[in-house]
Amino acid sequence: MHEREAQDAMVERDDNSHEPRGPKPLKRSSAGVIALLLVGVMMFLPTNFMIRSPGPVFNTLGKDEGKDVVSIEGAKTYASDSELDLLTVYVQGGGQNRVTIPVVLEAMLNPTKDVVPEETIMAHNTSSQQQNEQNDRMMTSSQDLAIAAAMTELGYDYKTWLSVADFSNELNSKLLKKGDRLLKYNGKDISSLEELKKQLNANGEKPATLTVGRADKQGDYKNVDVTVKTEAADNGERQLGIFLGTEHKFPIGVKFGLSNVGGPSAGMMFALSIIDRLTEGSLAGEHHVAGTGEIAADGTVGPIGGIAQKMVAAKKSGATIFLAPADNCNEVVGRVPDGLNVLKISTLSEAHTALEKIADGQDPSTFATCE
């Protein structure tokens, strides 16, 4: 009996102890629910990834929403039996439209899609609207350069000016206007960007007379002399504090009827369609050709993004020949769909010649490829 009382007293003392007590441990079932909730919340947090997937395909010799994708005025044009497709890529994520982890995981398991870090497509702190506006500007520029490249390839003469696109600071912002054509620097013709750089560096920090062509309200250009200053960039080269653009005056009029497509990658295919329209016959015969590549006025073909997705879109659209920029070859290898002949292209002239030879019966598989 005494032993029982002692045990009871010990229990009582333990219950009435004044030692601090921690929270009661969670039951395993409660901890599991919380863990699942946390995982669920994390799964739907926005990520810094963007997803590329195949987009729509447009025949540059055809129509989009009832409008000719490419139309020409001021020159005789010819019908064509060829198909020259430009290709697009859907891009998800970035800016204010970030994708969640489940969307990223689905894309990683889909062989037609690629998941890439946001900074590889969009500059830091760029909004979705700003990115769209930039893509629209690049599309407009690529169309202008496509005309220039086609004119160069066909031997047409045209005029080119460097122009004021915008200002990087206030150095000459009150003296120059957007759209001013840069004609002369201290009386010497400005024939190219390289020539302008040489003149700026040779003059140093001294003020100089810049002659510009400035449009009046009627759109007529008049020469205006402006005394401008320069400043040294980090690399020591002199600058005017402006962003330069390029303006052309062509002997023909070219209009583009494609809507809701941005970026520079359609340049080469636009140029080929202009060449096809301006020359008799069908550039690629009855072949279905697709391709991509940024274009320069001299015909140089530059690399683009999303080429793997564009090859998938080309194959689905029925193309059997794909024109790929040479600088994209490392992304082409191992991802070419069966039945698609990929030609490695460095210049518009190469593409032009290759399609003419294919139209004459040469086997597409005999041309240089990325593999």
Q: What is the pLDDT of residue 134?
A: 83
pLDDT higher than threshold 50 for residue 34: yes
Q: Contact 80/277 with Cβ under 8 angstroms? A: yes
Q: What is the pLDDT of residue 130?
A: 82
pLDDT in tens, 166-209: 999 999 999 999 999 999 999 999 989 999 999 999 999 999 99
Architecture of domain 160-247: Roll (2.30)
Architecture of domain 49-156+251-366: 2-Layer Sandwich (3.30)
- Mean pLDDT, rounded, for 112-121: 90
Say which residue the tokens 């970035």 belong to. 94
Q: How far apart are CA 192 and CA 194, in angstroms?
A: 5
Q: What is the pLDDT of residue 133?
A: 82
Higher per-residue confidence, 137 vs 363 = 363
CA–CA distances in Å: residue 54 to residues 87, 105, 263, 315, 316 = 8, 17, 15, 11, 10
pLDDT higher than threshold 60 for residue 26: no
CA within 13 Å, CB half, 266: 32
- Rounded to 5°, angle at Cα 230 from 228 and 236: 165
Q: Contact 143/273 with Cβ under 8 angstroms? A: no
pLDDT in tens, 256-309: 999 889 899 999 999 999 999 999 999 999 999 999 999 999 999 999 999 999
Domain ranges of the chain: 49-156+251-366, 160-247
pLDDT higher than threshold 80 for residue 42: no
What would the two tokens of residue 142 be?
């690529």
pLDDT in tens, 224-254: 999 999 999 999 999 999 999 899 999 999 9
Of all residues in the chain, the percent with pLDDT exceeding 70 is: 88
Q: How far apart are CA 6 and CA 55, in angstroms?
A: 83
- Rounded to 5°, angle at Cα 253 from 220 and 211: 35
What would the two tokens of residue 297 be?
């006025």
Q: What is the pTM of this model?
A: 0.81
pLDDT higher than threshold 70 for residue 99: yes
